[in-house]
Amino acid sequence: MTIAELSIFASVMLYLLTILPAKWISARQAGRFDNSRPRDPGFYDGGIRERVLGAHQNGIEAFPFFAAAVLLAEFREAPQNLINELAVLFLIVRTAYVLTYVGNRPTLRSILWAIGFLITVAIFFLPLIRNYLPV
């Protein structure tokens, strides 16, 4: 497996692990989280739990395009080292995005979202420009 392919898995783990602390911490605090109703909207009302849910949902939304871009770039034989580097950079940016989302930093969060999206676009178009790359 390539580093980029492992980054697809890491991307899934990132959005899954984003929601886990809110549920786990709340479950330990007087049973606030009810696992029989894991999607109860009342649980996510306001504060950090609402931001964690938003970061989690955005991770789910960003994943399909990222995964498709990585696989397309690999199938169309774009430079693998560049795909790997961009995929890892995407994960770094997405991790920072989650932290700014949870930390309630909306401007920085939006900037990081845009950077992550542009990285995915770059991966997607690597096959188109591979002949022009010095790699």
Which of 94, 68, 97, 98 is CA-nearest to residue 4? Answer: 68
Q: 119: burial class by Cβ within 10 Å (0-12, 13-18, 19+)?
A: buried
Taking residues 51-61, report their average pLDDT: 95
Phi, psi at 73, each rounded to 5°:
-60, -40
The string of pLDDT tens digits covering residues 91-134 is 999 999 999 999 999 999 999 999 999 999 999 999 999 888 77
Q: Take residue 57 and report the two structure tokens written for it.
A: 């949902």
Judge: domain 3-132, CATH 1.10.10.10: no
Alpha-carbon distance 57 to 72, whole Å? 24
Q: What is the pLDDT of residue 27?
A: 59
Q: What percent of the chain has pLDDT over 70?
A: 90
The string of pLDDT tens digits covering residues 57-97 is 999 999 999 999 999 999 999 999 999 999 999 999 999 99
Give the chain's length: 135
Alpha-carbon distance 91 to 115, whole Å? 11
- pTM greater than 0.85 (yes/no): yes
Q: Give domain limits for the chain.
A: 3-132
Q: What is the pLDDT of residue 41?
A: 74
- The whole-chain average pLDDT of the chain stands at 90
